[in-house]
C-alpha cells in the first residue's frame, strides 16, 4: 500500500481511498480527488513541501501531510 | 419587470472579467482563486430588458467552507435569481462542471458560459456546445471574457431565457437506484417532516440532508428523529455503491461529467504547453525560487521609487512651487485678495494636496507592477512556495496573497483574508496584513530617504519592507501561540496557469486605484489641509499667530509630543502629523508640508532640522508598524467580527510600533551620534 506522498515528481497512480475524515475529505472530493481518478505529481515546492499534482486537467497543491492520507493503487 | 441574474462559477474562472464585460464596470480582477470576496451588482448593458447582474465569489461546490463561499451559496438559495449564468473555465472543464452538477439541483434556469475558449483552442481542444446542451439540458455559449468574444451571444441568450417561462429539464446525474433512494427520502420528508426547510429546492434539500451538511442541519430546530432517517438512507447508498456517502455522491457526479466530456470534447492536436512548463521550472526552481521572488520585489521598488521618482518628482515640485504658487500669489494679489486668503490657498491647500500628488507617478508604477503580478498567476505560485515557511509562523501559504494585495492598500488586503477557511488563520492574517506597508505610506519613506539617505534610497525603502516581513513572521509566531491559538486548517490551493496580463485590464486597475487616491486627495486631504492651516495660524484666542509656536495646533501638539520624545520625534509637528495620519496615511506628508510652509528652505530643510537620520528612521518605522488608517481599521473591525479582538489588535500594533521605534532610536542614537 502506498500513498500520494510516496510518488515522485513525474510518477502517476490512481486514487484508491481517502483516509481522512471531516472537512479535508469533502474538500478533496470537491476538488476531484475521488476513488479511481489518476493523479500525477508535478513538483515539490522549493522547501520540500507542499507538492503540486495534476488531475482532471488542472494543477492542485496540497501539503504532504494530507497527501499521506490519500491511498493510491497502480 | 426587473430580472435578477447571478454569475456563479469556480474561483478564478473569470467571473469578474465577464461581469465587467457585461456591465461595463471596472471591478478588481486577478489571477488567483478568490479575488472576489463579496457579491457585487451591476446592470446588464446592451439589452432592452431590465436585468441586474450579481457577481458572486467563486465556489468549488455548494458545500461552503469559507466566508466568501457562504455568501455565494446563501444568495443562490435565499434570493432565488431568475437565471444563473454558470461560468465555466473551459480550459479546466472537468473540475468546473462539478459545480454545474450541483447548481442544476437548485431548480433555477441556467446558461453555461464556456469561458477562455481562446486558451482551449490554443491547447488544441474542440468543445461541442450543442452536445453539451443536449447532455445537460440547458444552453452553453462559447466566450472569452478577456478577449471579449461571444459576449453579445451570451447577452441574447440571457434575454431569451429570462423572458421564456418554459422550464428547463435537467437530466438525472445519479444512477437509477440512487435516484430511487433520493426519491424515497424526498417523499419521507414531504410526509413526515413537512416543516423542514420547505422553501429549499427539493433535490438540493434531499442531497444536502443526506450529506449531513452542517449549514443545512443547523437551520433545523430538532433533527434527532430526522437524523435517524438520514442514517438509514445513507446506509442504503453505502450498500449500493460500496463506498461511503461522501465519496459515492462526489464520484457519481464526476462519472457523469467524465462521460459527457468524452462525448462533447475532442482533442485535435497534441498539447503545446511547453512554455508554461519551462517558465514554471525556472520560477519555482528549488534554489532560485526565493531569490527570484525577492529580485522581482526589489526591481519593482527600484523602478517605481528610484527610477520613476528621479524623472518625475523634480518636475512636479517645480511646477507646484515655482509655477502654481507663484502665479496664484501674483494673480490673487493683483485682484486685491487678502493676504490670509492667499496663504490659505498656497500654504494650506496647494501645499497639503500637492505634497500627496507629487507621488502619483511613483504610485502608478507600483500599482502597475502589482497588477501584473496579480494577473499573471505568479501569486498562487508564491503562496505555494511560501506555505512551508508561513506554516511555521501559524499561517498558511494562502495568507501571503492578502499581504501582497496589502502592498497596494490594506483595505482590500484585509478583505482578501476571507478566502482563508480557518477562522484562526483568517483573523491572524487580518491583524498582520496592516504591517505590510501600503502604497499611501510610501511618500513619507521617499521623503525621508531623499533628505537623509540620498545615496541608498531604494535600499532604505527595501529595508523597511524586510522589517515588516520580519515583524509579520515573528508576530505570527507569537500570536498563533497566544491570542490566536488553535489548530491549523488544511491547505489546498489550485495553481492557475500563467496568463499574459492584458494591458487594458492592467491599466484599468491602475487607474481605479489611482482614482481612489486622487479622490482622497481632493476630499479628506483637501479639507484636512484647510483645517490644519487654520489651527496652525490662529491662537487659542482666535488671533492670527505671530509665530507658529503659539498656534492652537502647536499648543495641542506640545501636549502629546512628550509621548514620542523617547522615540526621537518629540517635536510637536511630527506628533501632529502622526495624529492626522490616522485619517489617511498620505496626510502625514501633507501635514508636515503645511506646517513647514512659508519657512525658508521649505519642507526638506525643515525636515532636516526636526529630525536626525536616526530619529527619521525611527519615525518611518513607527509609521510602518503602527495601526493603519481609519478605513483599514474599520475593515479590520468588520473582518475580526468582535471588539475584543479588535482592541487587542490595535493595542498590539501600537505597542509593537512604539517598542521597536524606541529600541531603534535609543540604540541608534548611541551608535551614530
Quote the ipTM score: 0.95
Same domain for B494 and B614? yes
Q: Averaged over B32-38, what is the pLDDT? A: 64
pLDDT at residue B422, as a whole number:
77
Residue B132 to residue A42: CA distance in whole angstroms: 30
Residue B592 in this model has a pLDDT that exceeds 80: yes
Residue B590 to residue B603: CA distance in whole angstroms: 10
Give the one of B95, B251, B397 whose C-beta lies nearest to A35's C-beta. Answer: B251
Chain A CB contacts of B493 under 8 Å are 60-62
Residue B616 to residue B344: CA distance in whole angstroms: 28
B150: left (phi over 0), alpha (psi -120 to 50) or beta: left
The residues, ordered by sequence, that sit 6+ positions from B99 with a Cβ below 8 Å of its Cβ are B8, B9, B10, B59, B60, B61, B62, B86
* pLDDT tens-digit map of B188-230: 988 888 888 888 898 899 999 999 888 888 888 777 888 899 9
Question: Residue B340: pLDDT band by 50, 70, 90 thresholds?
Answer: confident
The residues, ordered by sequence, that sit 6+ positions from B25 with a Cβ below 8 Å of its Cβ are B19, B40, B42
Domain assignment present for B139: yes
Q: Averaged over B241-255, what is the pLDDT? A: 91
The C-alpha angle B290, B291, B295, rounded to 5 degrees, equals 120
Cell 466568501, located at residue: B68
Same domain for B665 and B644? yes
Instruction: Mutate one of B493, B494, B499 to test the A interface: name it (highest A CB count within 10 A).
Output: B493
pLDDT at residue B106, as a whole number:
92
Instruction: Give percent of chain B above pLDDT 70.
Output: 97
**Mean of the per-residue pLDDT values for chain B?**
87
* pLDDT tens-digit map of B75-93: 999 889 999 999 999 999 9
Same domain for B485 and B533? yes
Last residue of a domain, one of B118, B133, B163: B163
Domain assignment present for B282: no
Same domain for B323 and B441? yes
Give the one of A48, A49, A59 whose C-beta lies nearest to B495's C-beta. Answer: A59
Domain assignment present for B310: yes
Peptide bond into A50 cis (omega under 30): yes
A18–B247: do the CB atoms touch at under 8 Å? Answer: yes
What sign has the CA pseudo-torsion B532, B533, B536, B542? negative
Same domain for B315 and B442? yes
Residue A33 and residue B492 in contact, taking contact as beta carbons nearer than 8 Å = no
Cell of B600: 525658508
Chain B CB contacts of A36 under 8 Å are 251
pLDDT at residue B184, as a whole number:
92
Q: Averaged over B632-650, what is the pLDDT? A: 90
Same domain for B558 and B651? yes
The C-alpha angle A69, B486, A66, rounded to 5 degrees, equals 10
Give the one of A32, A57, A66 whose C-beta lies nearest to B254's C-beta. Answer: A32
Question: Residue B379: pLDDT band by 50, 70, 90 thresholds?
Answer: confident
Domain assignment present for B168: no
A46–B421: do the CB atoms touch at under 8 Å? Answer: no
Q: Averaged over A49-66, what is the pLDDT? A: 94
Same domain for B182 and B99? no
Chain B residues with CB under 8 Å of a chain A CB are 60-61, 63, 65, 91-95, 98, 243, 246-247, 250-251, 254, 280, 284-287, 289-290, 384-385, 387-389, 391, 397, 421, 489-497
Domain assignment present for B447: yes
Residue B29 in this model has a pLDDT that exceeds 70: no
pLDDT at residue B272, as a whole number:
62
Same domain for B73 and B102? yes
Same domain for B71 and B101? yes
Chain A CB contacts of B389 under 8 Å are 47
Q: Which of A5-9, A19-23, B289-293 has the highest mean pLDDT?
A: A5-9
Say which range, A3-12, B72-81, B344-353, B485-494, has the weakest mean pLDDT. B485-494
Same domain for B182 and B113? no
Residue B37 in this model has a pLDDT that exceeds 70: no
Cell of B591: 501635514
pLDDT at residue B95, as a whole number:
95
Give the one of B286, B389, B492 whose C-beta lies nearest to A27's C-beta. Answer: B492
Size of interface A-B (CB pairs under 8 A): 107
Domain assignment present for B429: yes
Residue B1 in this model has a pLDDT that exceeds 80: no
Distance from the Cα of A13 to chain B's closest Cα (Å) equals 17
Q: Which of A21-25, A30-34, B550-554, B597-601 has the highest mean pLDDT?
A: A30-34
* pLDDT tens-digit map of B416-442: 787 777 788 889 999 999 999 888 888
* pLDDT tens-digit map of B353-370: 888 888 888 888 888 888
Start-to-end CA span in chain A (Å): 10
Domain assignment present for B323: yes
Question: Residue B31: pLDDT band by 50, 70, 90 thresholds?
Answer: low
Question: Residue B20: pLDDT band by 50, 70, 90 thresholds?
Answer: confident
Give the one of A43, A58, A62 whose C-beta lies nearest to B491's C-beta. Answer: A62
Residue B33 in this model has a pLDDT that exceeds 70: no
Residue B635 to residue B531: CA distance in whole angstroms: 26
Same domain for B188 and B154? no
User: In order of start, what are the domains of chain A with their CATH numbers?
Assistant: 2-73 (2.30.30.90)
Question: Residue B447: pLDDT band by 50, 70, 90 thresholds?
Answer: confident
Residue range of the domain that includes B301: 291-671
Give the one of A24, A27, A61 whose C-beta lies nearest to B384's C-beta. Answer: A61
- For helices B360-376 and B503-520, the axis angle rounded to 10 degrees is 140
CATH of the domain at B95: 3.40.50.300
Residue B548 in this model has a pLDDT that exceeds 80: no
Top pLDDT among B120 and B525 is at B120
Q: Averaged over B137-161, what is the pLDDT? A: 93
Domain assignment present for B285: no
Smallest CA–CA distance from B251 into chain A, residue: A34
Q: Averaged over B620-627, what is the pLDDT? A: 93
- Is residue B621 classed exposed, middle or buried when 0-12, 13-18 and 19+ CB atoms within 10 A define those classes? buried
pLDDT at residue B28, as a whole number:
66
CB count in 10 Å sphere of residue B184: 14
Residue B270 in this model has a pLDDT that exceeds 80: no
* pLDDT tens-digit map of B136-146: 999 999 999 98
Last residue of a domain, one of B163, B198, B221: B163
Question: Residue B258: pLDDT band by 50, 70, 90 thresholds?
Answer: very high
Residue B465 to residue B458: CA distance in whole angstroms: 11
pLDDT at residue B572, as a whole number:
87
Residue B386 to residue B383: CA distance in whole angstroms: 5
Overall number of domains in chain B: 3
Smallest CA–CA distance from B254 into chain A, residue: A32
Residue B267 in this model has a pLDDT that exceeds 90: no
Last residue of a domain, one of B138, B163, B188: B163
A45–B94: do the CB atoms touch at under 8 Å? Answer: no
DSSP-assigned beta bridge partners for residue A71: A3, A17
Smallest CA–CA distance from A60 into chain B, residue: B494
Count the helix, strand and coil residues of chain B and give each as a percent rounded to the nearest 5: 65, 5, 25
Same domain for B479 and B620? yes
Amino acid at each position: 500500500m502506498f500513498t500520494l506522498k510516496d510518488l515522485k515528481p513525474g510518477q502517476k497512480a490512481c486514487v484508491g481511498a481517502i483516509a481522512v475524515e471531516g472537512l479535508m475529505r469533502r474538500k478533496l472530493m470537491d476538488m476531484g480527488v475521488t476513488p479511481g481518478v489518476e493523479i500525477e505529481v508535478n513538483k515539490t515546492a522549493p522547501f520540500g513541501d507542499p507538492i503540486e499534482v495534476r488531475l482532471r486537467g488542472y494543477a492542485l497543491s496540497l501539503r504532504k501531510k494530507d497527501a499521506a492520507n490519500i491511498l493510491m493503487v497502480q | 419587470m426587473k430580472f435578477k441574474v447571478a454569475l456563479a462559477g469556480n474561483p478564478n474562472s473569470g467571473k469578474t472579467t465577464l461581469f465587467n464585460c457585461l456591465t461595463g464596470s471596472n471591478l478588481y480582477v486577478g489571477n488567483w482563486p478568490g479575488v472576489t470576496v463579496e457579491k457585487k451588482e451591476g446592470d446588464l448593458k446592451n439589452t432592452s430588458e431590465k436585468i441586474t447582474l450579481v457577481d458572486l465569489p467563486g465556489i468549488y461546490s455548494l458545500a461552503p467552507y469559507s466566508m466568501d463561499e457562504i455568501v455565494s451559496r446563501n444568495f443562490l438559495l435565499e434570493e432565488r435569481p431568475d437565471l444563473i449564468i454558470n461560468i465555466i473555465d473551459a480550459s479546466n472543464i472537468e473540475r468546473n462542471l462539478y459545480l454545474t452538477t450541483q447548481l442544476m439541483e437548485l431548480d433555477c434556469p441556467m446558461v453555461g458560459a464556456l469561458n477562455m475558449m481562446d486558451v482551449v483552442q490554443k491547447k488544441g481542444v474542440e468543445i461541442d456546445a450543442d452536445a453539451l446542451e443536449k447532455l445537460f439540458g440547458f444552453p452553453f455559449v462559447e466566450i472569452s471574457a478577456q478577449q471579449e468574444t461571444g459576449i453579445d451571444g451570451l447577452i441574447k441568450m440571457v434575454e431569451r431565457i429570462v423572458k421564456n417561462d418554459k422550464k428547463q429539464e435537467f437530466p438525472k446525474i445519479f444512477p437509477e437506484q440512487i435516484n430511487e433512494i433520493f426519491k424515497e427520502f424526498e417523499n419521507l420528508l414531504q410526509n413526515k417532516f413537512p416543516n423542514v426547510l420547505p422553501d429549499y429546492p427539493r433535490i438540493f434539500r434531499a442531497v444536502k440532508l443526506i450529506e449531513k451538511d452542517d449549514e443545512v442541519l443547523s437551520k433545523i430546530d430538532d433533527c434527532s428523529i430526522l437524523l435517524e432517517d438520514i442514517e438509514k438512507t445513507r446506509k442504503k447508498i453505502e450498500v449500493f455503491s460500496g463506498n461511503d456517502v461522501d465519496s459515492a455522491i462526489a464520484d457519481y457526479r464526476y462519472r457523469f461529467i467524465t462521460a459527457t466530456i468524452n462525448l462533447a470534447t475532442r482533442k485535435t492536436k497534441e498539447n503545446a504547453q511547453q512554455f508554461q512548463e519551462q517558465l514554471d521550472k525556472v520560477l519555482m526552481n528549488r534554489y532560485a525560487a526565493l531569490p527570484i521572488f525577492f529580485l522581482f520585489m526589489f526591481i519593482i521598488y527600484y523602478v517605481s521609487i528610484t527610477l520613476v521618482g528621479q524623472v518625475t518628482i523634480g518636475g512636479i515640485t517645480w511646477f507646484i512651487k515655482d509655477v502654481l504658487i507663484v502665479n496664484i500669489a501674483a494673480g490673487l494679489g493683483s485682484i486685491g485678495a487678502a493676504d490670509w486668503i492667499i496663504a490659505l490657498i498656497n500654504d494650506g491647500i496647494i501645499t497639503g494636496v500637492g505634497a500627496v500628488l507629487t507621488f502619483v507617478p511613483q504610485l502608478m508604477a507600483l500599482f502597475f507592477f502589482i497588477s501584473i503580478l496579480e494577473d499573471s498567476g505568479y501569486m498562487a505560485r508564491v503562496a505555494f512556495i511560501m506555505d512551508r515557511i508561513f506554516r511555521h509562523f501559524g499561517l498558511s501559504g494562502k495568507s501571503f496573497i492578502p499581504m501582497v494585495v496589502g502592498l497596494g492598500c490594506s483595505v482590500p488586503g484585509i478583505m482578501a483574508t476571507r478566502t482563508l477557511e480557518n477562522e484562526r488563520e483568517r483573523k491572524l492574517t487580518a491583524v498582520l496584513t496592516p504591517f505590510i506597508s501600503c502604497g499611501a505610506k510610501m511618500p513619507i519613506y521617499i521623503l525621508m530617504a531623499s533628505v537623509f539617505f540620498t545615496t541608498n534610497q531604494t535600499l532604505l525603502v527595501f529595508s523597511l519592507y524586510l522589517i515588516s516581513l520580519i515583524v509579520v513572521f515573528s508576530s505570527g509566531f507569537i500570536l498563533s501561540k497566544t491570542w490566536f491559538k488553535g489548530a491549523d486548517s488544511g491547505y489546498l490551493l489550485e495553481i492557475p496557469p500563467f496568463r499574459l496580463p492584458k494591458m487594458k485590464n492592467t491599466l484599468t486597475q491602475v487607474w481605479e486605484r489611482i482614482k481612489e487616491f486622487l479622490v482622497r486627495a481632493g476630499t479628506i486631504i483637501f479639507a484636512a489641509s484647510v483645517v490644519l492651516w487654520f489651527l496652525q495660524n490662529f491662537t487659542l484666542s482666535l488671533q492670527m499667530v505671530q509665530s507658529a509656536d503659539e498656534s492652537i495646533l502647536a499648543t495641542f501638539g506640545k501636549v502629546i509630543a512628550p509621548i514620542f520624545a523617547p522615540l526621537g520625534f518629540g517635536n510637536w509637528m511630527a506628533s501632529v502629523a502622526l495624529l492626522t495620519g490616522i485619517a489617511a496615511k498620505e496626510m502625514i506628508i501633507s501635514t508636515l508640508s503645511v506646517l513647514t510652509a512659508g519657512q525658508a528652505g521649505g519642507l526638506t530643510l525643515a525636515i532636516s532640522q526636526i529630525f536626525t537620520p536616526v530619529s527619521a528612521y525611527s519615525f518611518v518605522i513607527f509609521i510602518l508598524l503602527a495601526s493603519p488608517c481609519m478605513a483599514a481599521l474599520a475593515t479590520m473591525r468588520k473582518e475580526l467580527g468582535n471588539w475584543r479582538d479588535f482592541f487587542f489588535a490595535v493595542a498590539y500594533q501600537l505597542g509593537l510600533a512604539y517598542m521597536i521605534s524606541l529600541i531603534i532610536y535609543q540604540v541608534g542614537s548611541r551608535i551614530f551620534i
